[in-house]
Amino acid sequence: MKKSNWIVGAAALATLPFSIAQAFAQDAPPTMTADEKAQAKKIYFERCAGCHGVLRKGATGKNLEPHWTKKLPDGSTQEGGTLKLGQNRLEKIIALGTEGGMVNFDDILSKDEISLMSKYIQNTPDVPPEYSFKETMESWKLLVPVDQRPKKQMNSFNLKNMFSVTLRDTGEVALIDGDTKDIRSIVKTGYAVHISRLSKSGRYVYVIGRDGRLSLIDLWMEKPAVVAELKIGFDARSVDTSKFKGFEDKYAVAGSYWPPQYVIMDGDTLKPRKVVSTRGMTVDGEYHPEPRVASIVSSEIKPEWVINIKETGQILLVDYSDIENLKTTTIASAKFLHDGGWDASKRYFLVAANASHKIAAVDTKLGKLAALIDTKKIPHPGRGANFVHPQFGPVWATGHLGADVVTLISTPSDNPKFAKYKSNNWKVVQEMKHVPGNLFVKTHPKSKHFWADAPQNPDRETASSVAVWDMADLSKPKKIINVAKDSGLPETKAIRRAVHPEYSADGTEVWMSLWGGKTDQSAIVVYDDKTLAVKKVITDPKMITPTGKFNVYNTQHDIY
């Protein structure tokens, strides 16, 4: 860590006017030893930074800088009507969670760790070091050169129905055969892989961890394994490849949370080509020091990536046809951008501006903002879900962390049979009753069902369950399925959260992760999408804390 230049030492303090010096002395944060601070930094990075930011300025989660978290010098908790939290209240919030979407940590952290984190966020955040192109290049590892890789698929797996499954707390990805349900390979990757993305060809899987480590997995090998690695920063979430005709698999791009920047690299080796900073002005006209790359998708109608900058509310259309003379279109939307996905036509990209309670829709053909749609609190779509509504035609769906609905938004279509729905385009046409705490929604073109989880809900049974609707009647869920009970695993202190429904390639199965404690037995429960009956419970001692599951074919073709 680089030392801050803004440290007021004892000598400097003595020279200040008495009133200022007194304020410094009285408003001191809780003291921490070096070991305590190191432990708290690790916990904060692993559990908190994603929502609250490395600098703790907030995004999906609240601002956690000391001016919000500390009590006043006189011990009071109010200043001009503004709530100051303090140690006791912070401990309760961390332990019990909030209705706004923050989970309870009393089954994840010990009481001592909760107390420690309450102290830590009352102290001034450390500013992590920068990370240059030179350091990025030095981190690059080409483990298997391209000319030493297979010239054809060397295994007999049905790669279209392979699942790349994040094993969050072990820093691994399990490659599971969707046909046999066997684990074909467990690959060491970065910590808490956020997403897996497929190359246009379907051969390579790109996985990126919360620690900024990007791993390239070759599915053609006899036993699929990592063939290249790159550390793009200290904290990251997003990656995609070049998919436009003539650029298939040529480039990859990965976005960093810290430092706020994105890296363009060669698609088959991960050799870095360019690092681009995302620091700049917000849509409100203010400078932000930590505008993180929230999500990236790749267009197939232009040689462009759609790169969403969380804190600034800016959507970048990055033209990679000439990376030495990079052209970028900047589209102002709303804060704070998070995740999103394509509509059914793959022309429009819809992304959550979850702090503004809006969905931004971008017309990638025209390179313009198509709409900014108001929704209920904290939309969180993942990639969202597309289907044809029986009353409103083509729609795209998002769930919400902070509201008890699933929002359906009418999307345009060039198909003449949907022309009668044009007047509804970019409007919220229905809000399906659900529960707060939803992370992911999912359906499939061959399915008649719609699935939505609720792992962030504070109620134990709700967090362990998934709701399923019949798309012929979206007035209420057809069934609430308790995935934890269906797993047959013994109950534990930690809540086993049912998370991330994912379809098989043919749309006949839905896979649900049970995400529990690191020392608890975990499972993936596979359901028959037609009957909603359990088909298989996948367990293995090596399969620890499974979360996201990415079917190769569906991910390759953006089917959701």
pLDDT at 17: 42
pLDDT tens sequence across 74-129: 555 555 444 457 898 899 899 888 766 687 888 778 999 999 999 999 999 888 89
Which of 264, 282, 281 is closest to 273 using CA atoms?
Answer: 264
- What does the pLDDT read at residue 44? 87
pLDDT in tens, 284-294: 999 999 999 99
Specify whether 142 is located in the same domain as 169: no
Same domain, 217 and 177: no
Does some domain include residue 427? Answer: no
Q: Average pLDDT over the chain, rounded to whole?
A: 91
Q: Which tokens is 442 given?
A: 């999912």
| Domain membership flag for residue 260 | yes
Strand partners, 141: 229
Asked if residue 319 and residue 215 are part of one domain, the reply reads yes
Nearest by Cα to 246 from 300, 203, 197: 300
Task: Assign 57 a pLDDT band (cuts: 50, 70, 90).
Answer: confident
Amino acid (1-letter code) at residue 398: T
Nearest to 237 by CA among 60, 83, 113: 60
Closest by CA to 197, choosing from 205, 189, 186, is 205
299 and 173 inside one domain: no
Position 404 in a domain: no
Same domain assignment for residues 283 and 252: yes
Give the pLDDT of residue 9. 36
Q: Are residues 311 and 449 both part of a single domain?
A: no
In whole angstroms, give the CA distance from residue 308 to residue 375.
19
Is residue 391 assigned to a domain?
Answer: no
Q: How far apart are CA 280 and CA 489, in angstroms?
A: 49
In a domain, 420, yes or no: no
Asked whether residue 8 carries a pLDDT value surpassing 50, the answer given is no
Of 518 and 235, the structure prediction assigns the larger pLDDT to 235
Q: Please report whether residue 338 resides in a domain.
A: no
How far is the C-alpha of 413 from the C-alpha of 397, rounded, in Å?
A: 16
CATH number (domain holding residue 315)? 2.140.10.20
Distance (Å, rounded) from C-alpha 22 to C-alpha 73? 10
Single residue among 332, 363, 385 that ends a domain in this structure: 332
- Please tell me whether residues 145 and 269 are part of one structural domain: yes
Domain match, 327 and 220 both: yes
Q: Among all residues, which ones are annotated catalytic?
A: 48, 51-52, 102, 338, 380
Q: Is 367 left (phi over 0), alpha (psi -120 to 50) or beta?
A: left
The sheet with strand 393-398 has its strands ordered as 385-389, 393-398, 405-410, 428-433
Instruction: Determine what percent of the chain is predicted with pLDDT higher than 90.
Output: 78
Running DSSP on this structure, what letter comes out for residue 414? -
For 94-161, the three-class secondary structure string (H helix, E strand, C coil) is: HHHCCCCCCCCCCCCCCHHHHHHHHHHCCCCCCCCCCCCHHHHHHHCEECCCHHHCCCCCCCCCCHHH
Q: The CATH number of the domain where 61 resides is what?
A: 1.10.760.10
- Indicate whether 224 and 165 sit together in one domain: no
Q: Are residues 206 and 275 in the same domain?
A: yes
Decide which of 283, 314, 332 is a domain's last residue: 332
Cis peptide before 336 (omega within 30 of 0): yes
- Report pLDDT for 188: 95
State how many domains the chain has.
3
**pLDDT tens per residue across span 191-247:** 889 999 999 999 999 999 999 999 999 999 999 999 999 999 999 999 999 999 999
- What token pair was written down for 326? 């990079």
Residue 337 lies in a domain: no
Whether residues 440 and 478 share a domain: the answer is: yes
**Per-residue pLDDT tens for 168-188?**
989 999 999 999 999 999 999
> Is the C-alpha dihedral spanning 354, 355, 359, 362 positive or negative?
negative
Rounded Cα distance between 416 and 403, Å, is 35
Instruction: Tell me whether residue 248 is in a domain.
Output: yes
Residue 126 is predicted with a pLDDT of: 85
* pLDDT 10s digits, 289-347: 999 999 999 999 999 999 999 999 999 999 999 999 999 999 999 999 999 999 999 99
- The DSSP code sequence of 489-529 is PPP-SS--EEEEEEE-TTSSEEEEEEE--TTS--EEEEEET
Question: Any residues with CB less than 8 A from the CB of 445 and at least 6 apart, and which?
Answer: 387, 507, 559
Q: Are 539 and 146 in contact (CB under 8 A)?
A: no
Amino acid at 544: I
Sign, CA dihedral 397-400-406-411, equals negative
| End-to-end CA separation in angstroms for the chain | 41
Quote the domain boundaries for residue 552. 158-184+434-560
Instruction: Mark whether 244 and 286 lie in a shared domain.
Output: yes
According to the model, what pLDDT value does residue 349 have? 98
Final residue of a domain: which of 275, 310, 332? 332
Would you say 357 and 375 are in contact if contact means Cβ atoms under 8 Å apart? yes
